Structure 1
Amino acid sequence: MTPQDVVDIGTQAFIVAAKLAAPVLVTALVVGFAISVFQSITQIQETSVAFVPKAIAVSIALIVCGQWMIAEIVSFTTELFAKIPHLLGG
């Protein structure tokens, strides 16, 4: 296993992590921004007004994207296991 192999695996891991986190983070960002605009317009500063819609939206994003997320991580893990003989020099 060369240092380049380690860097390649690390880079792939970071890319997969970013792809898996993106749907949830973007959903929370968009809903949070919309709630912030709503709160500033109506001057309602209640904490639950910001938390509950974000929690619901993130849950929906996980339900919608969950199968794809599982397929991505399984694919990455399968590819990583398939590379083990090459990485060990066999």
Structure 2
Amino acid sequence: MQPEVFVEILRESMFMVILLVSAVILPSLVVGLVVAVFQAATSINEQTMSFLPRLIVTLLALSWGGNWLLTKIMDFTYHMVDLIPQVTG
């Protein structure tokens, strides 16, 4: 059992987390930035105007990318199960 195996598992896990989270968060960040620029340009400071579009875009990103997200998680889980003999023996 080599320490490099654990470092590799941690690296793959962190990459998977970053990939899956960014697929949902980045569209929301872009919409939030557009709404913030619009609010700054028009001097409208309404909280729901900022929250509702980001919520809708986040839900759309989850619904459109849900199959891809689930496939990535399942492939990663299968890969981790395949690594069990290498880690234990």
TM-score interval (norm. to shorter): over 0.9
Question: Does residue 66 of structure 2 align to residue 66 of structure 1?
Answer: yes
CA–CA separation in structure 2 for the residues paired with 1:67 and 1:18: 17
Gaps of 5+ in 1: none
Supply the RMSD in Å over aligned alpha carbons.
0.8
The residue aligned with 2:14 is: 14
Query: Deviating runs (4+, > 2 A) in structure 1?
Result: none
Moved more, 16-25 or 52-61: 16-25
1:31 corresponds to: 31
- Counterpart-to-counterpart distance in 1, 2:8 and 2:86: 13
Cα deviation for residue 72 of structure 1 reads 0.3
Query: 1:47 maps to which residue?
Result: 47
TM-score w.r.t. length of structure 2:
0.95
State the percentage of identical aligned residues.
33
TM-score, normalised to structure 1, is 0.94
Deviations 1:27-61 (A, max 9, x none): 11100000001101111101111000000000000
Supply the distance in 1 between the matched residues of 2:19 and 2:66 (Cα, whole angstroms): 12
Q: Which residue of 2 aligns with 1:80?
A: 80
Count, aligned residues? 89
